[in-house]
């Protein structure tokens, strides 16, 4: 078992387990992302020779958008991260395969980002990099991954175009696999483009339910499992084991965004609540205040993690989704309609707050937490 951290200025409680202690420090990662964005911007001039152009406002958003004339094209690449290691551990301990769920997670990482710009996903490509060719010799595991991948494509209405399955011994740890997905989509009609140009004071904030941890904060969950006497087999309080609760697949929100488009709902902005937790509500560059008056129920696995890791609300909601996997910013007269459409798609939703004029901050009133512009620097 790991030893709790010693007290420090940033972690006064030695029993608290933070995301940074689990090996994820956004203060180190985000500056590199910003530097990469600066270099990437300089390459946009290459598009002119092909008769297309970028939508500059999409840089720094969850998907990149190109003007292809009669329509916009959007693209994204994402990886699953360390959730596969939880699936590996549970498979070893119980013999239960969750690789179908892991496949859905991987696709969700890509498509849930792509739809934030108003795109309809069209094509998904797979990247499955194993630590050796023997990973694919386990037919049950490989078959579950394939079946889950295909099933998620069916839910999202996308074509699985192909992919890459390298065996990278010495690069990827032996006995496991690194999963990623790229996705290309179309914004048509062009009026569906949603980059926040309409976002304004008075807009309603609608939150959509998560299914659990999704795929963000899993490094923290893995570190926590090392502290628990029964590890992944610990009961989270509702009869479910910690490992299996973590492996609940990420919600695919594509059916909701497509249904909203068909209904004519004017989506002013979207946020996929993944890395940085509820701080993601501050993603838009404008100076606006996001006031939350209603928070969704916290899934048992996340309540368990907050309690066992001894996270205060600021840390918990700034790291985990805490029950909200996606956010829509819509006209106030369409807020209840947005909730109804989401529920008709099988996803619970709430009118959770409103956008106000004021400094850039997210005020989550029910839990007494405020995040400022300094708490999220993505561009």
pLDDT of residue 246: 97
Phi-psi region of 21 (alpha: psi -120 to 50; beta: other; left: phi over 0): alpha
- Residue 103 near residue 87, CB atoms below 8 Å: no
pLDDT band at 96 (very low <50, low <70, confident <90, very high): very high
pLDDT of residue 7: 42
pLDDT band at 13 (very low <50, low <70, confident <90, very high): low
Cα gap 65→47, rounded to integer Å: 12
> What's the rounded mean pLDDT across residues 164-193?
95
Q: Which residues contact 260 (CB under 8 A, 6 or more apart)?
A: 267, 328, 338, 341
The pTM assigned to this predicted structure is: 0.90
> What's the rounded mean pLDDT across residues 94-110?
97
Using CB atoms within 10 A of its CB, is residue 288 exposed (0-12), middle (13-18) or buried (19+)? buried
| Runs of H (alpha helix) within the chain | 26-41, 83-94, 99-114, 139-156, 218-227, 242-246, 254-263, 300-309, 313-317, 335-344
- Residue 79 near residue 164, CB atoms below 8 Å: no
Q: Which residues contact 100 (CB under 8 A, 6 or more apart)?
A: 144, 145, 147, 148, 151
Q: 194 φ, ψ to 5°?
A: -130, 95
pLDDT digits (tens, 9 = 90+) for 43-75: 999 999 999 999 999 998 999 999 999 999 999
Q: Which residues contact 224 (CB under 8 A, 6 or more apart)?
A: 17, 305, 308, 309
Cα gap 108→253, rounded to integer Å: 8
pLDDT digits (tens, 9 = 90+) for 210-247: 999 999 999 999 999 999 999 999 999 999 999 999 99
Please name each of the domains of the chain with its CATH number: 61-191 (3.30.1330.10), 204-375 (3.90.650.10)
Cis upstream peptide for 306 (omega within 30°): no
pLDDT at 20 over 70: no
What is the average pLDDT score of the chain? 92
């Amino acid at each position: 078992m790991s030893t709790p951290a010693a007290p420090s200025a940033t972690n006064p409680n030695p029993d608290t387990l933070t995301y940074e202690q689990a090996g994820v420090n956004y203060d180190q990662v985000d500056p590199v992302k910003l530097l990469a964005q600066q270099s990437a911007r300089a390459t946009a001039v290459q598009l002119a020779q092909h008769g297309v152009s970028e939508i500059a406002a999409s840089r720094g958003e969850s998907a990149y958008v190109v003007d292809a004339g009669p329509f916009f094209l959007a693209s994204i690449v994402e990886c699953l991260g360390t959730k596969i290691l939880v699936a590996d551990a549970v498979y070893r301990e119980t013999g239960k395969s969750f690789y179908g769920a892991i496949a859905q997670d991987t696709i969700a990482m890509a498509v849930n980002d792509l739809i934030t710009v108003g795109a309809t996903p069209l094509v998904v490509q797979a990247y499955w990099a194993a630590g050796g060719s023997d990973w694919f010799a386990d037919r049950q595991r490989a078959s579950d991954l394939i079946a889950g991948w295909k099933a998620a494509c069916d839910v999202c209405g996308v074509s699985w175009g192909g992919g890459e399955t390298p065996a990278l011994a010495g690069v990827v740890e032996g006995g496991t696999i690194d999963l990623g997905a790229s996705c290309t989509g179309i914004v048509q009609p062009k009026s569906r483009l949603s980059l926040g140009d309409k976002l304004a004071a008075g807009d309603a904030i609608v939150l959509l339910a998560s299914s659990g941890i999704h795929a963000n904060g899993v490094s923290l969950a893995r570190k926590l499992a090392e502290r628990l006497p029964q590890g992944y087999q610990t009961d989270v309080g509702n009869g479910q084991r910690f490992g299996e609760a973590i492996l609940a697949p990420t919600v695919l929100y594509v059916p909701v965004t497509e249904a909203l488009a068909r209904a004519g709902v004017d989506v002013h902005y979207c946020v996929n609540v993944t890395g940085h937790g509820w701080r993601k509500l501050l993603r838009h560059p404008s100076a606006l205040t996001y006031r939350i008056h209603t928070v969704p129920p916290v899934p048992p696995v996340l309540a368990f993690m907050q309690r066992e890791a001894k996270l205060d609300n600021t840390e918990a909601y700034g790291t985990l989704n805490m029950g909200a996997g996606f956010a829509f910013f819509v006209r106030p007269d369409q807020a209840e309609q947005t909730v109804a459409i989401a529920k008709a798609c099988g996803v619970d939703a709430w009118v959770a707050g409103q956008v106000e004029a004021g400094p850039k901050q997210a005020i989550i009133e029910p839990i007494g937490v405020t995040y400022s512009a300094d708490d999220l620097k993505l561009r």
